[in-house]
Structures are given as structure tokens and as C-alpha cells.
A and B are shown apart, each in its own frame.
Chain A
């Protein structure tokens, strides 16, 4: 049976080879609750501690401090082979000496279930993962995508309490990655297994997760739904890591307004800072519109890049860093480098970053 996961004050220190007195904190005081049946993604650049965190949940790494619970049961001292938290490995880790069937049946055989029951169960799961008819093949005869499916089948056949994914799609090409992403999500929702998913790919995280945990340097920067993380990032790091962003310095004015590049904008959300303070605004490139005449800010087109579904402009605006603007859709006007333009942006789309 699947169960919620609770992580409390989890730390992992590794020895520091340069300075033994100062261990490296790969994971630093992480608290996280994963609800039953929820898929939570750990997202962050390499070295942020996400894989270490996942491996502690799996039991491959020993926490230096803190606790991991599956349901009410503290898992810290449970060895990895007793955790019932099966994992889809980044390298797939298919047993090369066993057939596809035996790979998937591996864990069931250790539970000494009846031959018949194992066969029925494995066949079911192979069908579920699109591997019907491949039971007797050797792993070397499979493509990357099929190996990925075997890894997935091998994990879900165990009906684990928790399902773990360690960057499962990083070895696939872009098209296959998109497809597998959808399949994994659909399967996970159908089976309703509590899942923890590690990736460094923000698109993958956005598309697959119920909630995302953004990590940096072993610390959780923000936890939220994909929408919250994108539109209300907790800080500059999160904003920069998820999607593209303009960071515009502005001065807080009276009555919930900000002054930037000669324009005064009244914001919808209340501003925490007091008038006269300097704040950083997050402006996503796609919320800005350009027009030859209409707008509140003056700018000059410095660079144009046509990317098919959208056109990307770099606009020089006096008094700020250049703005990145993305225009899309058939109605969008086109400009060339050197054009003078006017920029407008809806106040609701401006997010004031916490310092």
C-alpha cells in the first residue's frame, strides 16, 4: 500500500577532502511532506543535493541528521532492501544477465511468490508499460526507451509504498522524453503511488509534478505547485531557474506604485517595501507587449531572433538592463533591429521579488 512521506530536518554531511574540519552539507535541514498519491519533484542544478535526498529516502545514503517517515514508520534504520520504495534509476540499471521478464520478476521472486502469480503479475505490468511480447528478450536487444520502460515496470510491479525516480529521462532524446513523461505521469496517477521524482529539467518538472521542490546548495528554496513556482517565485534564484526572466530594478512610490524607466505603475498586490526603497521586479518575457506607438516605456530594438513559434527581442530601455521580450501568435507585430518601440505590461503580471 502506498503511503505519505514525511521528511524532517534532514541533513547529509560528506567529508570535505580539503578541510576535514568542515564537512560539506549536501542536504541541509530539509523538511518536506509528500501526500499520499502525490508526485513531488526535486528540481535544481547539479550538486544541489536533490539526488542525495532521493538516495536517503531509498536508503542508499545514511542521513547525518533528521528523520524520514513512510506513513507513521520511521525509516532511518531500515536497510534499502526492506524499504519497499522502488526506484527508477538514471542509468536504468537493468540486470544485463537477465531477460526482460526476469528483470521485472526479480523483486517478486525474492518475495517467494508462486510461479503462477509472478507470471500473471509480470505479464500485466509488461502490458501496462508497452512491453508485451518482449518478455524473453535480452536487455541488449532493447532501445533506450524500451530499457526505460523495463526499469519502470520493474519498479511498479512491486506495488511499492513509495516510487522513486532519479532523473529517469535524462538519457533519452527529446521526442522520446516528451512521450515518456506523459506515460510516467499517467501511470503514476492511475496507480496512485506516492512518488518522489528528481530532475534538473524545469520543463519536465513543470509538466509532471503536483508540486515542485526547488533546491540549491542543499537547501529548499521553494515548495509549490508548478504555477506558483513560475508566477510567484520565492527569490531570484527560483525565478531564474524556472523559465526566463527580466529582473528590473524599480523604486517604490506612494500608494502601492513602482517607478521604473520613467513610468509609474500601480501594482495589484501590496508591496512589502516602503516608499523610496529599491525593489527588484520579475517580468516574464512573454507578458510584455511591443507596439510602435502605444505603451508606457520607451525602448530600442537591439536584436531580433525568430524561433518559429515565437520571436525573441532584446530591447534596450534607458535606465535598466536590456529587456528580453517574447512575442507570439499571428497578431504579433514584427520589428527589426534599430526600431524604436513602446513597451507595455499588465500590472497583474509583475511580481516583486523578496530580497
Chain B
């Protein structure tokens, strides 16, 4: 009788490759310490008051109106932002992938621009335009009693910030629907309208639902926009949790709100990943479907187009306002051009610039490599705990930054791990928080690569590490690029978790922006934002060049 014992068999095979075993052990422990452990700490803190186990803090949810409205407000904002984001994203994706319209490239880049921006660009722009001293509200309309703070302000700012994420996700979905299917429907007599609702839309529905949930999670976890635009009368979960901890020093209430924030995020993530993920009708052919859609009539086409142009125009307006604001003495009162704000950034505030750069430069390569290694382990290696590693390493994607931040100060402020106030805590936080995107794109690319290419390397005498370095990594260069860029952009623009972890020694530009906004110095905030955007753009160009150099031959190669 042949005895099958999977784990034992896998261990037996692994044992021959000590490097691999070591790698797996290190990654497992790191995920356990830096992803799972902080979450456990948050949970424990929310269930303890002065060391006693209790449900008292959760009882506060029933007693205090503030908390109840925070929950209602956060969920209603996220839902609406999710819906609006998906509508805008879908229209933009449809127009820019399926219709033959002028300026597609420019519109694509403009639509994506908010993704690489620091978190306060739209909030600051909105203040410049519609705030108390806003150009539109005060100068043009002369309104006295209009307030941008509250539900509408947060929703407007978040839609602008997160619709591009939906756009990117839906772009992939729409591009993967073969236009021949639409032609087939037209061919059997369907009208363009019928074809859309009976073919195109149903095929993209799982993608739409998935995009909605992603935007929902992003909006729910968003910290910057609510902090600036919600106002005191409109409490929301993420800023409230922050205020409980930094304002009232009430760790258990902050932790409790973090748990409340975590529940809908994780639920949405679970649905997105384990339910919808398996229902995407994506067929990877390697060939982008270039043919234009024939299902929309010219009037509809130009109507949709104008929506995209409008969105791009708003993006341009927002960034234009930031640029002008950065060079304007006192917005709303004195529009004299000045370099004073930049002088501040490069003088008094320059520590934050160098600190942020150092952190980003350390985090980026680590995160890029870690992402590819984990993707390689997930797709190509079999070992006990395989599923747990995959789950653990992408879990942090769904955990709101506020929760991570609270978790980190709870976990790493006391033995066995004392790290608060150090560079390490910021780097580790960013590393594990932003590696999931690299992992997921690595997994996606690797799944499309014939495993026999790596087997061939093994077969010719290459060990696991050599195979990874000489074959796997060059082949998944596009995913590596994505991982690097994402890690860098996020390290430059992160705020929600980082705000708990910055110290006098290690500060971040985003935190500086927040401070400047808080003290009403929007000009300096705008200048900082421009510096961040400039650094990010330069970095993307450099990373792109580096990755291309790494893989000269594969640039045009379809595997």
C-alpha cells in the first residue's frame, strides 16, 4: 500500500534545499510578527481595560452617539464613493479601451494621476476652490454661509482620489473581453444597447463588483481626506480612532474603533478575493483586443467621452490649483507670486523630505524583491502552510492603515519588540503593508509563465536561487516593476499608519502636509505636495529604466 502523507512528503523534498527552507521560515516569521501579531494586539487591546478582560469598550458603541454616527457616516461615505467611483471608472475604462476617440493616451495618464499623488492633494485643492476662502465659493460666487466640510466634501474628495483605482481595475476587465463577442451579438440582430446590457455588462459584472469593493475598502480606510474635510460635526471611524489615541490617549477605545473599522474591510476583502476572484471571465490571450467597439452610436460615444474629458479636466484643475497655490502668498487674500513656501520646505521642513526619501529608498527594493520571492513561493513551491503564507502576506492589503498603525504602536512599544521611534518600524510597516500589490501582480504574471521554463533551468543545473535570479525574476519583470513603483509611491504618500509611527527623529512629508493643512498654511502644504509628486515621477522613470536594463531581451517577448 502506498502511503500518502502530503506534508511529510513536501518536507522531505524541501529538506534537500536548505536555502529555500530558510527563506520560507524567515518569511513565515516575518509575516507572523509584522502582519498578524499587531492585529492580535489591537484585538486584545480592544477587549481589555487596564489589563482586565471586558466588553466595556464595545459597549461604548451603544452608549455614545459619536461612535454610532462615525460608523454610519463612514459606511455611507464608502458606499457612495464606491458606487460613484465605479461609474466613473467604468465609463473611463470603456471609453479609453473600447472607443476610437482622440487623446486617449493623455486622458489615460490624467485619469491615473491621482493614484501617485500624496493623500491631501484633492483635499487641499477642494479647500483652495470651495473652502472658506475658496476661489469658487468666496471670490466667484461670494457665498458667506457655504461650508465644504462634511459628507459632500469627503465624498467629492474621495471620488476624485479613488475613481482612478476603479478605472485601472476595470480597464483590465474591459480589455480582456473579446470584442468578437459583441460582434457576435450584433450579428444575430441585437442592438448596441441590448449588446451592452446582455453581453458586455454581464461579462464585466464580476470585475465591477470587485472594483466597487476595492474602492469601498480604500474609502473606508482613508484617513487624510476625512481628517481634513469631515469637520467636527461629521465624525468618521479612521480619524476618530486616531483622535482617541493621540488626543485622549485612550488606547482601548482607539483599538475598539480599529476593530470596528477592520470588520467591514475584511468582509469586503474576503468577498472580493474568494468569491468574485473566481468568477472573473478573464481570458488571457496575450493579445490586447485592439478593435474598437461598435456597440455605441456616435451621440452616446461623445457623451461618454465628454464625461471622461470632464474628469480629466477636474484633475488638471486640481493640480493646477495646487501648483498655483504653492506659488501664492496667502490664498484668498494675497495672490502675489512667491517662493516662500518652497523656501520653507527646503529649509525648515527639509528633514521631512530627506527622511521620507531615505525610508522610501530602503523600502522600495526590499518590497519589490520580497513581493517577487513570495509570489515565486506561492506559485511555484509546495510546502506545508502554503495557503497560510499566501493569506497572511496579502492580508495587510485589506487592513486599514489606521488599524495597522495602532497595531504597531501596541506591538512594538514594549518587549520583546521595542522599535517605536526608529527608522526600522517605518520601513517594516511600509514593507509589509505595501508588498501585497507586488505579490499579487507577481502571482498573476508567474501563473501565465510556463513552469517548464524554470524546470529547464533546474534541469540544466541551476539551483533554486540561481533559477529565481537568472530566469524567474527577468521573466516577471513587469510585476517587479509594478511592485517597486507601488512600494515607492506608497512610501512617499502614506499617512494613515505612518502618522502613528513618526517621531522627532523620523518624520514624513505627508505628516508635514497634514500639519500645514491643520495650521491653515495651505501654500506650504501645496509646495510639499508638488515636491512629492516630482520625486515620484522621477523615481518611476528611474525604476522603469532599471527594470528594462535588467531584462533587455524580454521586453518584446511573449511567453
Contacts and interface: CB of A to CB of B under 8 A. Distances in A.
Interface in B1-48: 2, 4, 6, 9, 12-13, 16-17
A186 interface: no
B556 interface: yes
Interface string B452-469: 110111111111001100
21 contacts: A15-B4, A58-B455, A60-B455, A64-B4, A77-B16, A81-B462, A87-B455, A89-B455, A91-B450, A91-B452, A93-B453, A93-B455, A93-B456, A94-B456, A96-B475, A97-B553, A97-B557, A107-B462, A138-B556, A139-B557, A158-B461
B194 interface: no
B17 A106 contact: no
A99 interface: yes
A45 B10 CA distance: 29
A158 B553 contact: no
A80 B457 CA distance: 10
A58 B461 CA distance: 11
A116 B536 CA distance: 45
Contacts of B266: none
B441 to A, nearest CB: 18
Contacts of B554: 96-97
Interface in A91-110: 91, 93-99, 106-107, 110
A62 B556 contact: no
A148 interface: no
Q: How extensive is the interface on chain B, given as a class? A: 20 to 34
A87 B556 contact: no
A318 B452 CA distance: 54
B2 A25 contact: yes
B454 to A, nearest CB: 8
Interface in A41-79: 58-60, 62, 64-65, 77, 79
B65 interface: no
A320 interface: no
Interface in B252-304: none
Contacts of A91: 450, 452
B9 A58 contact: no
Interface residues of A, number: 40
Given A64-B2, A96-B553, A89 B17 contact: no
Given A107-B461, A110-B462, A111-B461, A95 B456 contact: yes
Interface residue SS majority, chain A? loop
Contact of A65 (B2, B453, B558): B2
A90 interface: yes
A154 interface: yes
Contacts of B450: 91, 93
Contact of A82 (B9, B457, B461): B461
A98 B474 CA distance: 10
A97 B551 contact: yes
Interface string B525-559: 00000000000000000000000000111101111
A23 B6 CA distance: 11
Contacts of B552: 97
Contact of B452 (A77, A81, A85, A89): A89
Contacts of A59: 458
B17 A11 contact: no
B28 to A, nearest CB: 22
Interface in B84-102: none
B114 to A, nearest CB: 34
B361 interface: no
Nearest to A105: B460
Given A95-B471, A96-B475, A86 B553 contact: no
B17 A87 contact: no
Nearest to B16: A79
A107 B460 contact: yes
Contact of B557 (A15, A107, A138): A138
Contacts of A84: 461
Given A96-B475, A96-B558, A110-B466, 7 more contacts: A13-B4, A79-B17, A80-B458, A80-B459, A81-B463, A89-B455, A98-B553
Given A11-B2, A64-B2, A140-B558, A87 B461 contact: no
Given A77-B16, A90-B452, A96 B461 contact: no
Given A64-B4, A97-B553, A158-B460, A80 B455 contact: yes
Interface in B468-513: 470-471, 474-475
